[in-house]
Amino acid sequence: MSRSAQPSWQPSDDLDDGIGAPSTLSMPEDWTLSTAWQRAQSEYDSGGPINDAERMVSLSGGDSPHRVTWALRGRTLIAECDCRGHQYHGGWCAHVASLWWQWVRGEIVVSHLDTGRDYSEPPSWLRLDDDPERYDDLNPAELDAYLHCQLADAGVREYARRTDRAPGTLGNLLRRARETLEGGR
């Protein structure tokens, strides 16, 4: 997605209204030994993207496809599946595990709902249990600068070159982001 394009994520009308924001993903204990993780590695997913925030996951050993919210927001990953296993296992099901497995292997791209950037692998600044609303006071450009230059330790000049922006502009965005998050210092 280009920097000038706006994310195309729209909430689904055909899913039940949830209470509050979607849950963030956290790894359960012994998740590598779980049935969900074993299915994620051994079954083929014939699904695909629905929009920037949702994917249809259809595992070869499953009965039906499932709709999964799978996107970055703030500094975390939003993961929500419509299957019973997702609710039963506290947010970890074979469909979510399959998407994680595909993402860490570079087989799918995950969109950041706030910045519009696409990631072919988990970024170094990702925290699975972070508050997705913590960065709501930042505009997309400030958030992008903060994630990459403050949290991921990319230099301002390096990231400016990579994103075709002026270092001064990126430095100003980073300064404003820091001030906003630190209470206006």
**Domain regions of the chain by residue span:** 31-119, 140-181
| Residue 15 confidence (pLDDT) | 45
User: In angstroms, rounded to a whole number, what is the distance separating the alpha carbons of residues 8 and 116?
Assistant: 9
pLDDT of 36: 81
pLDDT of residue 92: 80
* Least confidently predicted of 27-31, 67-71, 153-157: 27-31
Over residues 143-167, mean pLDDT: 94
> Residue 3's pLDDT is what?
44
Answer yes or no: is pLDDT of 94 > 50. Answer: yes
Beta-strand ranges (E) seen in the chain are 48-49, 54-57, 66-73, 76-81, 110-111, 118-119
Helices 94-104 and 35-42: angle between axes, nearest 10 degrees: 50
pLDDT band at 37 (very low <50, low <70, confident <90, very high): confident
Q: Give residue 174's pLDDT band: very low, low, confident or very high (50, 70, 90).
A: very high
Backbone phi, psi, residue 132, to 5°: -65, -15
When pLDDT is averaged across residues 90-115 and rounded to a whole number, the result is 92
> How do strand 118-119 and strand 76-81 relate by DSSP bridges?
unpaired
**132, pLDDT greater than 80:** yes
Q: What 3-state DSSP class applies to 52?
A: coil
In what helix (H) or strand (E) does residue 34 lie, and over which residues does it extend? none
Amino acid letter, 28 = P
Mean pLDDT (whole number) for 85-106:
89
pLDDT attached to residue 31: 56
